[in-house]
Copies of this chain bind each other. A is one copy, B any other.
Amino acid sequence: MKQKLKMGMVGGGQGAFIGAVHRMAAALDGEIELVCGAFSSSPEKARASGRDLGIDCSRNYESYQTMFRAEAELPENERMDFVAIVTPNHMHFPVASAALLAGFHVISDKPATLNLYEAKQLRELVKETGLLFGLTHTYTGYPMVKEARQLISEGKLGPLRKVIVEYTQGWLSEPAGSDNKQAAWRTNPAMSGASGCMGDIGSHAANLAEYICGSHIHSVCAELTTFVPDRLLDDDGMVLMKMGEGIKGILHASQVAAGEENNLTVRVYGEKGGLEWQQQEPNTLVLKPQVGPMQVYRTGGAHSAMAAANTRTPMGHPEGYLEAFANIYRNFSAAVRAHAIDGCNEPAAFDYPGIEDGVRGMALIESLVASNASDQKWFEIQE
């Protein structure tokens, strides 16, 4: 009999958005159960939130510190196996560090930390503890994204030349009211970090491009803009970029593209063809060979084993955002189970984003901010 993994959660209490997404993603496959949590920085709200979620009273903690201490003292077969961190950005590092030090694997919402310095510290800690760290760059969880990565790695496009990745939203087109909790912390540098738009969604776009291309961004030329008056962070960014192997590209992210929903799109061109994927119709991957008709790959009819392994239903039964998110959880869970046996700590082997993605993401964000402030055209990313 296969036992469910036991998950704890920090953050994600009443009024939060991403916490519920993590819980649904973790629940979907019936392999993980939420056993404990410290759901808010306010002890009162933490307790109330846990009650709503049906968490057992004794494991409905008032702070993450208490939780890690108490769980660590439980018998091994009762205590949580890993913790999911779904707080605003500024708490990612303190919570993740504490969890690792207390002996727990961590799966964290992105970005990994508030800044590059923290990210590098966290990387050290992951190495030292030998524990697992997963980062929910959700969009790499889609089957057709994996298919794209596979087609490219097989050389279907030939050597790559260009990548165009865009992530446009319109929800911050106007000054956010004080009652919009999501908007409030995301536009607050103390909680969000040095960049607004690029930290929140530009980093997703960059991670997606790197994952699909199997190559890293090394130089950027960035123009960040704050369109909405009195906002403290950028709400729009346009970036020219250079990646390994001579690939050039454009990264565009905006939170003020009024009328857009969550329009993450990536196109890649090589010597022999191009491909295109759009997150809002995620079950379709268009391959455009230089010669011959376009080909439309579809979830459920996947060409690659990696895509097939991340699909739950037959062709024509659309899978969505929660399924992609659940793939990150499922792959991370497989790593947790394997770690218990062999201590292996290698995200790539289980196909989920890890601390290296996190460090690279933070380095990118800081480089974009620096490039934006500079008159020089190209800026090399430094870790």
A-to-B contact residues, CB < 8 Å: 1-4, 17, 20-21, 23-24, 27-30, 34, 51-54, 57, 157-158, 161-162, 164, 166, 168-171, 173-174, 221, 223, 225, 227, 236, 238, 240, 248-250, 252, 254, 256-263, 267, 269-275, 279-283, 287-290, 293-298, 300-301, 303, 312-323, 374-378
Chain B residue at minimal CB-CB distance from A375: B377
Chain B residue at minimal CB-CB distance from A225: B248
Cβ-defined contact, B316 with A322, below 8 A: no
Taken together as a complex, chains A and B put the C-alpha atoms of A135 and B314 apart, in Å, by 21
Q: 30 A–B contact pairs at CB < 8 A?
A: A1-B51, A1-B57, A2-B54, A23-B30, A27-B30, A28-B28, A30-B53, A161-B258, A168-B269, A170-B290, A173-B272, A223-B248, A225-B248, A254-B269, A257-B274, A258-B274, A258-B289, A260-B274, A260-B288, A261-B300, A261-B315, A262-B314, A262-B316, A263-B316, A280-B283, A293-B295, A294-B296, A295-B296, A296-B296, A318-B321
Whole-angstrom distance from the CB of A20 to the nearest CB of chain B? 8
The 5 closest A-B pairs by CB, nearest first: A262-B316, A259-B288, A261-B316, A318-B320, A320-B320
Chain B residue at minimal CB-CB distance from A34: B30
Cβ-defined contact, B269 with A157, below 8 A: no
Whole-angstrom distance from the CB of A349 to the nearest CB of chain B? 24
> Which residues from chain B contact A269 at a C-beta distance below 8 Å?
168, 170, 254, 256-260
User: Quick one: which of B20, B158, B171, B258 contacts A271, CB cutoff 8 A?
Assistant: B258
Cβ-defined contact, A281 with B318, below 8 A: yes
Taken together as a complex, chains A and B put the C-alpha atoms of A378 and B375 apart, in Å, by 7
Whole-angstrom distance from the CB of A189 to the nearest CB of chain B? 22
Cβ-defined contact, B317 with A319, below 8 A: no
> Which residues from chain B contact A258 at a C-beta distance below 8 Å?
157-158, 161, 269-274, 288-290
Cβ-defined contact, A322 with B321, below 8 A: no
Taken together as a complex, chains A and B put the C-alpha atoms of A261 and B314 apart, in Å, by 8
User: Quick one: which of B17, B24, B174, B240 contacts A238, CB cutoff 8 A?
Assistant: B240
Whole-angstrom distance from the CB of A272 to the nearest CB of chain B? 6
Whole-angstrom distance from the CB of A101 to the nearest CB of chain B? 29
> Which residues from chain B contact A248 at a C-beta distance below 8 Å?
223, 225, 236, 238
Cβ-defined contact, A317 with B321, below 8 A: yes
- Residue in A2, A51, A258, A295 whose Cβ sees the most chain B Cβ within 10 Å: A258
> Which residues from chain B contact A236 at a C-beta distance below 8 Å?
161-162, 248
Cβ-defined contact, B318 with A313, below 8 A: no
> Which residues from chain B contact A261 at a C-beta distance below 8 Å?
298, 300-301, 314-316
Whole-angstrom distance from the CB of A227 to the nearest CB of chain B? 5
Cβ-defined contact, B298 with A296, below 8 A: no
Whole-angstrom distance from the CB of A304 to the nearest CB of chain B? 12
Q: A238-B240, A293-B287, A377-B376 are in contact. Are A319 and B322 (CB under 8 A)?
A: yes
Cβ-defined contact, B254 with A162, below 8 A: yes
> Which residues from chain B contact A27 at a C-beta distance below 8 Å?
27-30
